[in-house]
């Protein structure tokens, strides 16, 4: 998985490409742990994300939980495959998806 970050004042955009699974989720988790200070808007761009596993979902939930305290989190450009996973796991009701 590759990760492209764009920071603009308090807004952080992370574009993911590839698979967010058991192997790659810790990489994102680490990134979020270290880079969230002062962030009030966290945006994920999933246009090029091919797959998300439960491990990836857990990282998104942690991020959502953190952002509930300090701002907002959005997920953009969710493709059909990922959206189906969000739907069957009830994530559509938890996350803000644009």
Partner 1 sequence: MNEELKQKIREILLERYGVDIAEAVCRFSTQNYAFIFPERPYMIRVSISPKKSRSEILSELMWVDDLKPFKQTICEPNASLNGLLLEEFAIDGKLYRASMFRTARGNIKLTTEMKPMFFICVGDLLGAIHHVSTNERELGIRYSRKKLSDTFDALKNRVKEHIPPQIEKRITSVQQEVDSLPEELGRYGICHGDFHINNFFVEENNIWLFDFDGCTYASYMYDVASFIQACFLMGYKAGEDCRKVLYEDILPYFKTGYELNKECDEHYWDHLELFITYRVAMAYMSLLEIDECGVVDDLEQIRQFLSYIISQEDVLGAMTAALKQQAGGHDEGK
Question: Nearest Cα to 94, choosing from 74, 69, 70?
Answer: 74
Residue 73 phi, psi (nearest 5): -130, 135
Residue 51 binds partner 1, judged by CB under 8 A = yes
Shortest reach from residue 89's CB to partner 1, in Å: 5
Q: What angle do CA 27, 66, 94 make, to 5 degrees?
A: 95
The region of 9-17, 33-41, 52-60, 71-79 touching partner 1 under the rule CB under 8 A is: 52-60
Question: 13, 27, 53, 70: which one contacts partner 1 (CB under 8 A)?
Answer: 53
The residue assigned the tokens 């998806």 is 97
**Beta pairing partners, 18:** 49
Q: Are 60 and 95 in contact (CB under 8 A)?
A: yes
Shortest reach from residue 6's CB to partner 1, in Å: 26
Closest to partner 1 by CB, 5 or 58: 58
Question: 11, 55, 83, 97: which one contacts partner 1 (CB under 8 A)?
Answer: 55
């Amino acid at each position: 998985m590759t990760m492209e970050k764009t920071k603009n004042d308090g807004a952080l955009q992370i574009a993911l490409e590839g698979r967010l699974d058991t192997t790659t989720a810790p990489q994102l988790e680490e990134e979020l742990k270290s880079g969230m200070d002062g962030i009030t808007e966290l945006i994920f761009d999933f246009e090029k994300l091919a797959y998300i596993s439960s491990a990836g979902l857990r990282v998104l939930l942690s991020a959502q939980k953190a952002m509930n305290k300090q701002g907002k989190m959005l997920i953009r450009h969710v493709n059909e495959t990922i959206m189906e996973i969000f739907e069957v796991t009830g994530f559509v009701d938890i996350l803000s998806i644009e």
